Amino acid sequence: MEIILGNFNNGLYKITVQIYFSGDTQTSNNIVSISFLIGESPIIISEIMYKPSLPNIEWFEIYNRSERDFSLLNWHFRDTDDDWNSIETNRNLPANTYAVISDDTLTIKNYYDDNILFFQTDDWPTSLSNVEDGILIADNYFTTLDSTLYLDNEISVPYNHSLERINPFEDVSDNWGVSIDSCGATPGRVNSITPKDYDLCAYALTKVIEENHITFITLSGFCSNIGFNDIEDAEAIFFRDSNFNSQYDGGEEISIDDFSIPYEGTEEFSYTFQVVEDNYYLFGFLIISNLDLDTSNNLIFTTYNSPQSYPLPINEIQYAPIDDEPEWLELYNNFSYPIDISNWILADNKDTLNLWSVSPICQPEEYIIIVVDESDTLEILQKYSLIDSTYSVKFAIGLPKLNNDEDMLLLRDEYGTLIDSVYYFSGWGEISNNSLERINPNVNSNNPDNWESSINSHGATPGGENSLHIEMISPKVKLSINPNPVSLREKNSVLIEYNLPEALSKVNVRIFDMRGRMIRWLSDQEWLGSKGAIIWNCKDDNGRVVPIGIYIVHLEAAGKQSGRIFQKTKTMVIGEK
């Protein structure tokens, strides 16, 4: 017999057929029931934990996305390779509620410490595959309500993280992702990647730079409505984060627009303005709505660095150390605010590497020493006595292998903005195996006159002020002696200070008596910086204290850059002993 039941709306239906016969003495087999599904299923698989780490175990979650309760007694599930398993419960799954299916509910409850609705099973598949598998769920009549297959190489789920359904109201294959919850999963509650009822998202911020005599920047911000409802009365704000605290503070705005956006809608905003000073800038794009239920995705940043701005300059390069000592590179925070180097990139002609540091926040006037790997840090600390340094120093990992003859170094922040670049040559330095030091961090990094070999006794100054560092070079040769006159009864040495018009010079400093005889050679063709001091103990080259009288201090220097000879002479008086 065939009966046409008519039209049905979407939903899960149960049909029961019962036969009546007055003479039937065995009525227990006169009734039979089946179910069928029209349209979308009211019960779906919403989360799968298939790669747990002990003490966690495998489980999956279902969600009742309908407006009615369902009894799950004797419902079934299985993976792609095993037989059906039954759900053993007398409880209903309420409308709009999540529930976790497992054969060991106590272990899961103890692990997540959540108020979770559980349904116990009579068994569990041998094991969900970590590579490729699936889950199918059916009611007590084996009508399949939902199924999902996963390939771990497509989504790459870390251990102890679940695979979550993004939108519980969409039945599409690309509707899954890795949980971003701090626990690695969200059993019994809304998935971490599920959209909210109201949710705006700022997903991109781009910049176009026009540089001629005047620099103009056009910022373009993009946002979308990823929630389930339209949003009215929203604001889009472009701002300059002037104090680099990675948030919007009142008074930092450079443009504000009011807008409305429908469900699944997108909006684009642009603003063009002039850059009035050379500096390092952090620009933000912020979306605000009083309805927004998730503000963690409303803010996005980008940066701009003027061509003559060096907020974190490459300050020293050790590309050819002696023996098997490590190569390294030094950065210096020349900026007024802390700088976060997380996800910054350092590249040379061959390699591009991400910088990594345990403490990535670089404070003003702090040094960062970049090495190849962590084992290099101890050797540098020991050789240069940085443990006792008065300067603030930290280490970062991610230095490419440096060439000894020439190489190009590029430093970019996490937004791809160029912070500094140096194309160095070995001919920039005069002293083999010593580091290349930047003379002034505010002068062009690719000017060879702004680099020279370290004249420090250790051959380098990692984590400290460069031995050749100068803010301004004196236009004239200066020479001073202190004290002058000196009484050998009170003091047996004098300080001879000098200033030279070049960053590096070969220097002779000699002492003569009044008859023109040289009695002491203090500096003999020594590479010295533009300013410094030499101590004379008032003894001659034979180690004897000179007699009282008048002496002549003569400085002669050959500047490396210009080849000019600079000279200066001063007289001094040595009094009685």
How confident is the prediction along the chain (577 residues), in pLDDT tens digits per residue? 677 777 888 889 888 888 887 777 777 788 888 888 999 999 999 999 999 998 999 999 999 999 999 999 899 999 988 889 999 888 899 999 999 999 888 899 889 877 899 998 888 877 889 899 999 999 999 999 999 999 988 888 999 999 999 999 888 888 999 999 989 999 999 999 998 999 999 999 999 999 888 899 999 999 999 998 999 999 999 999 999 999 999 999 999 999 999 998 999 999 999 998 889 999 999 999 999 999 999 999 999 999 889 999 999 999 999 888 999 999 999 999 999 999 999 999 889 999 999 899 999 999 999 999 988 998 898 888 765 566 788 999 999 999 999 999 999 999 999 999 999 999 998 888 999 999 889 888 998 888 999 988 899 999 999 988 887 666 788 999 999 998 888 777 888 999 888 888 889 999 999 888 999 999 988 888 888 888 899 999 999 999 999 999 999 998 887 778 898 999 999 987 6
My answer on whether 169 and 49 are in the same domain is yes
Task: Return the structure tokens found at 278.
Answer: 């050379």
Q: Where are the alpha helices (DSSP H) in 140-217?
A: 152-155
294-332 confidence digits (pLDDT tens): 999 999 999 999 988 999 999 999 999 988 899 999 999
* Contact between residue 472 and residue 561 where contact means Cβ atoms under 8 Å apart: no
Domain span at 495: 478-575
* Contact between residue 512 and residue 519 where contact means Cβ atoms under 8 Å apart: yes
* pLDDT of the residue at 47: 97
H-helix or E-strand spanning residue 148? strand 144-151
My answer on whether 297 and 212 are in the same domain is yes
* pLDDT of the residue at 271: 97
My answer on whether 382 and 437 are in the same domain is yes
* 0.75 exceeded by pTM: no
* Domain assignment of residue 58, yes or no: yes
| Cα–Cα dist 342/246, whole Å | 13
Domain count, the chain: 4
My answer on whether 206 and 153 are in the same domain is no
Query: What are the strands, taking DSSP E only, across 314-392?
Result: 314-318, 328-332, 339-340, 345-347, 352-354, 361-362, 367-371
Q: Please name the residue that has the structure tokens 């429908």.
A: 262
* pLDDT of the residue at 577: 63
As to burial, measured by CB atoms within 10 angstroms (0-12 exposed, 13-18 middle, 19+ buried), residue 524 is exposed
* Domain assignment of residue 464, yes or no: no
My answer on whether 270 and 344 are in the same domain is no
Task: Return the structure tokens found at 136.
Answer: 């199918």
H-helix or E-strand spanning residue 531? strand 518-536
Q: Which residues sit opposite 481 in a β-bridge?
A: 496
My answer on whether 346 and 442 are in the same domain is yes
CA end-to-end span of the chain? 135
Rounded CA Rg of the chain: 38
469: how many CB neighbours lie within 10 A of its CB?
Answer: 20
* Domain assignment of residue 159, yes or no: yes
CATH at 368: 2.60.40
* Domain assignment of residue 131, yes or no: yes
| Cα–Cα dist 45/65, whole Å | 10
| Cα–Cα dist 403/400, whole Å | 9
Amino acid (1-letter code) at residue 290 = N
Comparing CA positions, the residue from 136, 38, 34 lying closest to residue 79 is 136
Query: Torsions phi, psi of 380, nearest 5?
Result: -70, -40
Which of 384, 418, 453 is a domain's end point?
Answer: 453
Which of 305, 329, 362 is a domain's end point?
Answer: 305
My answer on whether 282 and 322 are in the same domain is no
* Domain assignment of residue 458, yes or no: no
* Domain assignment of residue 219, yes or no: yes
Q: Assign 14 to helix, strand or coil.
A: strand
H-helix or E-strand spanning residue 382? helix 375-384
My answer on whether 206 and 174 are in the same domain is no
Q: Please name the residue that has the structure tokens 């702004």.
A: 450
* Contact between residue 77 and residue 84 where contact means Cβ atoms under 8 Å apart: yes
Q: Please name the residue that has the structure tokens 């101890």.
A: 378
Q: Assign 385 to helix, strand or coil.
A: coil
My answer on whether 95 and 174 are in the same domain is yes
Interior/surface letters 146-157, b for 16+ CB within 10 angstroms, e for the rest = bbbebeeeeeeb
| Cα–Cα dist 315/441, whole Å | 7
My answer on whether 258 and 287 are in the same domain is yes
My answer on whether 250 and 335 are in the same domain is no
My answer on whether 147 and 214 are in the same domain is no
| Cα–Cα dist 209/483, whole Å | 57
Q: Assign 108 to helix, strand or coil.
A: helix
* Domain assignment of residue 14, yes or no: no
Q: Assign 155 to helix, strand or coil.
A: helix
* pLDDT of the residue at 301: 97
Which of 146, 178, 210 is a domain's end point?
Answer: 178
* Contact between residue 234 and residue 289 where contact means Cβ atoms under 8 Å apart: yes
CATH at 524: 2.60.40.4070
* Domain assignment of residue 12, yes or no: no
* Contact between residue 367 and residue 464 where contact means Cβ atoms under 8 Å apart: yes
As to burial, measured by CB atoms within 10 angstroms (0-12 exposed, 13-18 middle, 19+ buried), residue 385 is exposed
Q: Cα torsion for 436, 442, 445, 447, to the nearest 10°?
A: -90
CATH at 254: 2.60.40.10
